[in-house]
């Protein structure tokens, strides 16, 4: 006896749609997970690069401030008598800002122009010529000039006879700015890493570890605290060199910092910006 086999049942349209929906959901979840992992890795890579650049800036800054504020500085007596009403500590603070302005220019115009200290009457007292390491930027422009200058500061200017160790990771972050043909460091998203010479205006910089509440010495460029508002009240000529130095003696703490624009690639939206000073936390030089 031959039995008729039951017809083979296929998938219904609804079942097929359900399977497709599940597969699409799994694919979306997988892609999202991979995207999060990839972005996290890119953030870590960028943080590592920014931290190394910040350490290089710190190393260079420390040497610069040591030279500027040392008792053997050949310009100290001139600045003390002609610019700072005879006060040596004020002269050291002014020299610290002048040296930092020359050694860490943020624009090509700054990099190729002298730094002039003037007396309270406006008479030029000292002129520091541009640093020879920045001659390559003369007559050029770039989309972000501070990024180009950061590369020169870290890789070519040297630190009082020493050059910061440019390891494989930093060499891997090198790229060329097409607007000027000079090298820059880029973050993991391909955006040039820049720097700010006198970063300020952030409430956290007025607190530990960036400020020293015991001594009141908040400003790493002014180890004796003469940028402090209370101490400035009896210094009537405190503003005489502000224009030339591009700095304001307003009592706020300032730090030097490397900056990555972060995942959104936008420096003007700081929510995900990566700041070197937070990664290294070198804080106050007077601590």
Is the pLDDT at 239 greater than 60? The verdict is: yes
Which pLDDT does position 284 carry in this prediction?
Answer: 38
> What are the distances in angstroms from CA 4 to CA 1, 7, 49, 138, 239?
10, 9, 74, 93, 105
Chain centre distance of CA 39: 22
Is the pLDDT at 216 greater than 90? The verdict is: no
Which pLDDT does position 81 carry in this prediction?
Answer: 92
Which pLDDT does position 105 carry in this prediction?
Answer: 96
Structure tokens at 246: 């591009």
Domain boundaries, the chain: 44-280
Residue 240 · residue 166 · CB < 8 Å: no
> Please, which pLDDT band fits residue 182 given cuts at 50, 70 and 90?
very high
Structure tokens at 248: 């304001």
Please tell me which residue, 276 or 123, carries the higher pLDDT value.
Answer: 276
Question: Quick count: other Cβ atoms within 10 Å of Cβ 206?
Answer: 15
Is the pLDDT at 23 greater than 90? The verdict is: no
Average pLDDT, stretch 243-254?
Answer: 76
Which pLDDT does position 285 carry in this prediction?
Answer: 36
Q: Whose structure tokens read 């997988």?
A: 30
Which pLDDT does position 281 carry in this prediction?
Answer: 72
Average pLDDT, stretch 274-286?
Answer: 69
Q: To the nearest whole number, what is the mean pLDDT of the chain? A: 82
Question: Quick count: other Cβ atoms within 10 Å of Cβ 154?
Answer: 25
Which pLDDT does position 15 carry in this prediction?
Answer: 73
Which pLDDT does position 36 carry in this prediction?
Answer: 67
Which pLDDT does position 232 carry in this prediction?
Answer: 62
Is the pLDDT at 111 greater than 80? The verdict is: yes
Mean pLDDT is lowest, of 114-123, 155-164, 212-221, 265-274, for: 155-164
Question: Quick count: other Cβ atoms within 10 Å of Cβ 71?
Answer: 7
Which pLDDT does position 167 carry in this prediction?
Answer: 73
Which pLDDT does position 229 carry in this prediction?
Answer: 62
Q: What are phi and psi of 148, to 5 degrees?
A: -65, -45
Which pLDDT does position 241 carry in this prediction?
Answer: 66
Which pLDDT does position 256 carry in this prediction?
Answer: 92
Is the pLDDT at 159 greater than 60? The verdict is: no
How do strand 124-128 and strand 255-260 relate by DSSP bridges? unpaired
209 cis-preceded (ω within 30 degrees of 0):
yes
Q: 123-154, pLDDT tens digit by residue?
A: 889 999 999 999 999 999 999 999 999 999 99
* CB-count burial class (<10 Å; 0-12, 13-18, 19+) for 112: middle
> Please, which pLDDT band fits residue 24 given cuts at 50, 70 and 90?
confident
């Amino acid at each position: 006896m031959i039995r008729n086999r039951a017809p083979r049942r296929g998938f219904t349209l609804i079942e097929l749609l359900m399977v497709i929906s599940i597969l699409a959901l799994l694919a979306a979840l997988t892609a999202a997970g991979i995207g999060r992992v990839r972005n996290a890795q890119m953030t870590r890579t960028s943080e590592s690069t920014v931290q190394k650049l910040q350490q290089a800036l710190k190393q260079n800054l420390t040497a610069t401030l040591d030279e500027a504020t040392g008792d053997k500085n050949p310009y100290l007596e001139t600045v003390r008598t002609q610019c700072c009403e005879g006060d040596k500590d004020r002269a050291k603070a002014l020299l610290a800002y002048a040296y930092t302005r020359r050694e860490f220019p943020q624009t090509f115009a700054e990099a190729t122009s002298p730094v002039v200290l003037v007396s309270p009457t406006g008479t030029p007292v000292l002129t520091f010529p541009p640093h020879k390491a920045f001659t390559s930027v003369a007559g050029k422009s770039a989309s972000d000039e501070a990024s180009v200058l950061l590369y020169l500061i870290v890789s070519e200017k040297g630190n009082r006879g020493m050059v910061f160790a440019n390891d494989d990771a930093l060499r891997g972050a090198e790229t060329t700015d097409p607007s000027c043909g000079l090298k820059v460091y880029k973050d993991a998203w391909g955006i040039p890493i820049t720097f700010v010479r006198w970063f300020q205006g952030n409430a956290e910089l007025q607190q530990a570890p960036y400020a020293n509440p015991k001594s009141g010495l908040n400003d790493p460029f002014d180890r004796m605290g003469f940028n402090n508002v209370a101490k400035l009240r009896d210094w009537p000529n405190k503003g005489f060199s502000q224009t030339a130095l591009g700095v304001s003696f307003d009592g706020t703490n300032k730090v030097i910092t490397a900056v990555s624009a972060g995942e959104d690639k936008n420096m003007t939206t700081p929510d995900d910006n990566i700041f070197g000073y937070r990664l290294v936390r070198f804080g106050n030089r007077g601590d």
